[in-house]
Structure 1
Amino acid sequence: MKKQPSRFPDDSERLRKAVEAGESAPPDAPWFELEPSDDDPDLWLQGPRADPDERAVVAEWAEAEASRAAQLARVAGRLGALDDRLLRGPVGWRHRLALIEAADLSWFSGERVSPDRLALWTSMRLSGVQEDVDALASTHWAVRRLKGGPGPLSDLAAFLDRRDPERLDKDAERFEDRADAWLGVMKAASSLHPITRACMGFHLWSLAGLSQNGPGIEAAVTVARVAAEPGRGAVFAPVAMGGAAGLRAAGLPSVRLARWLDGMENAIMTAMRHLDDVEKWAERARDRMASLSGRTPAALTAVFKDWPIVSAPMAETLTGASRASVQRNLNWMADQGLVREVTGQGRFRLWRIATRVEA
């Protein structure tokens, strides 16, 4: 094939000579020959740009917090009300909300663990033949962290149960270094409200190299604990209960914070309504079961207050009563409209409390 001559045979030579002489590019130079500009000194630099300074990152989120001050104050007030209610309420309420929140977060992370499967795994380590044990274990980790224990800001690696392997390539970046970098930014943002810090920490999770596929259940659980500090009743701030729209990563910090606050407010209100239903149900159950003798009715009532879904084997294990006694009381509670069987099957049945509307 005959080689075609260049359409611009002299342009490259003229441009080279002009640059060597310190002159500007000829006016008829090709459009693709870009010349340096004082407005963009990095035009000719190759490779990634430097990461922003911690102070610049925190300043961006401080500006976002200031722009959403009224909304932040409202959400913080609702979280304070939830904290006070859980402080005065039964300890089982925290366990119940942790189960529901962990199950909802599992759907956000793609593991899709339902509350009944999670309850069976948490109480008895039972799983189906075709169920993903790793997903159940990961979601159960979330339940344990949402129920209590040391927070993430003291030792993130211990909180996540993640450590560097004993044999690590000398060129590989250590996980503890990445965790320390994330903690460093969180410490630098100590002047921000805990809810704002939680939002910032969630969206910086992947940038810190703590996950490869975007922030998932680990990030959400971690920042849920951060947002609730220094709560005495609420161990975590709900972020996914009733929907995980607030966890979507898109937009500037002010947009992300607004979405985060909307999602958290919706989650907190969902948790409060759920506690309202449980509290009303407990009063109704106590009145209707007052005439029953034995310790099984009271024990079953306590189990249903702590767990969103209950099976007969679970109730047997948690109450210490016999299978016959548990089954007899479950049937009686179902007849009285106190509980509702949700599977519709003759075997492997599951019950949950029936609200006043369903009774």
Structure 2
Amino acid sequence: MTFPITRNRRLRRSTALRSMVRENRLHIEDLIYPIFVTHGHNVREEIPSMPSVYHLSMDQLKVEIEEVMALGIKSVLVFGVPNYKDAVGSSAYDDDEIVQQAIKAIKIWAPELVVVADTCLCQFTDHGHCGVVHLDQETQIATIDNDQSLQLLVKTAISQAKAGADIIAPSNMMDGFVAAIRQGLDEAGYEDIAIMSYSVKYASAFYGPFRDAAHSAPQFGDRKTYQMDPANALEALREADSDVAEGADFLMVKPALAYLDIVRTLKDQFDLPIVAYNVSAEYSMVKAASSNGWVDEKAIVLETLLSMKRAGASIIITYHAKDVAKWLKED
């Protein structure tokens, strides 16, 4: 029996036809590039677990921003390694600390670049947790003081907005953090500053290399009491719904690759832009496999990021951004 060639096959028969009917596309404008800034001079220190990602001092940051702009990347996400840490993360809301310095400088060097500020305390506390911790000396059980943490996160967000951040991206997962930060920004005169909420942030094994990069590993316990259980999907809807009600402008899913079902669920349920964070271990695994010749890095990365777009992400935070920008220009 002879069967006719199907419509789908006819539309796949040439590169030009496939391109004409492509349903999803990856654009440079979709990407946010994370950057790690630190103190010192002429510091460009590669992070061992994240090849081609660096700790950058301010002078090297300028070089990095010039490259980002030349590649056509429209946004960066700023993380900082501070000069000092304490129990309450006071360097996070210090107007003269490294994140604030970096934001101010970037807005001078590249005013049109969208600067996203990660708003958390873990990089700035000596215990590595995302909020204020009370440790029971007898039982050694640590608990997070949610409300006191919110006060400090609001101070941090205002300090970052004052420095020139276009978007505040709170990643702490404290209860009520979007409402608290929205109110704080508005009262401080920053009504136009958007909030990109880490709405659905799982207690994931995919964060390991980042903790090397940000020097933010918890010194005791873990973050499971305030980050989400990877087994839960309905909880993601509740978290996102709460953030929408509190005034979030973007909803983020972190990590991305193991949670594409959650990206799609949020895309179907909410009319806000969905952000997928292609996190550190997702990046490092590809780099490691590529360095061993096991995979085609370009093909793997582009297919992976396209899967995030197909799932419903409008924006992708990725350490691959510079490479992807080069590849898209070549194509």
Which TM class, normalised by the smaller chain length?
under 0.3
Which protein has the larger Cα radius of gyration, Structure 1 or Structure 2?
1
Which of the two has greater helix per residue? 1
Which of the two has greater strand per residue? 2
TM-score, normalised by the number of residues in structure 2: 0.26
TM-score, normalised by the number of residues in structure 1: 0.25
